[in-house]
Amino acid sequence: MHASPTSLPDVIEIVPSRHGDARGYFSETFRLDWFAANVSPLAFVQENQSLSRKRGVIRGLHFQSKPFAQGKLVRCIGGAIFDVAVDIRQGSPNFGRWTAVTLTAEGGNQLWVPPGFLHGFCTLTEDAVVSYKVTAYYSRDNDLGVRWNDPEIGVQWPGEADPSTLSDKDARQPLLKELGHYFDYNAEA
């Protein structure tokens, strides 16, 4: 496996090795000891999967507040997505900045989104399947977000992005400037 920081140093792209032959390939997609030594010592407690049938589906931008703040290890196991992370740690030199990586089933790459970051994605293909491990259990009371197209953040979504696909919850999310204080960079660093 290979780990590479993105333009936000705490958000890391992981590319597992693949060993192939005429039959296909074998890939070790996760190994706890490697992850702890190279990315984060946090452990995963839950794994989720979503299917988006249409190209252009937008999901996000989401996070969970403490005590259920989640780190996410995201991978696309069918199709392709434009995967986004936004730093919302107060006091961070990158507060409000975003980064994105295209995750594909074909490429097998993954994105580590630590606690203190928003997460969302846009599907680049039909029938995009996303799987992600999380470091805290889902909590409805701690499930929060920010508007996908907040101009202060300025995510440059791909042309496929279709706002008509937003869930009711995502369509009503607040702007970043309306969001309370949930994460402190100095405490998290």
Spatial distance between the Cα atoms of 64 and 90, rounded to a whole number of angstroms:
15
- Tell me phi and psi for residue 74, to 5 degrees: -105, 135
The 10 Å Cβ neighbour count of residue 180 is 8
Strands 2-5 and 98-104: unpaired
- 62 in active site: yes
Given the residues 2, 19, 62, 137, select the one marked as catalytic: 62
Catalytic residue among 132, 137, 138, 182: 132
List strands edge to edge, sheet with 98-104: 98-104, 80-87, 117-123, 58-64, 143-145
What SS3 class is residue 176?
Answer: helix
Whether residue 181 lies in the annotated active site: no
Q: Report, as residue numbers or ranges, the catalytic residues.
A: 62, 132
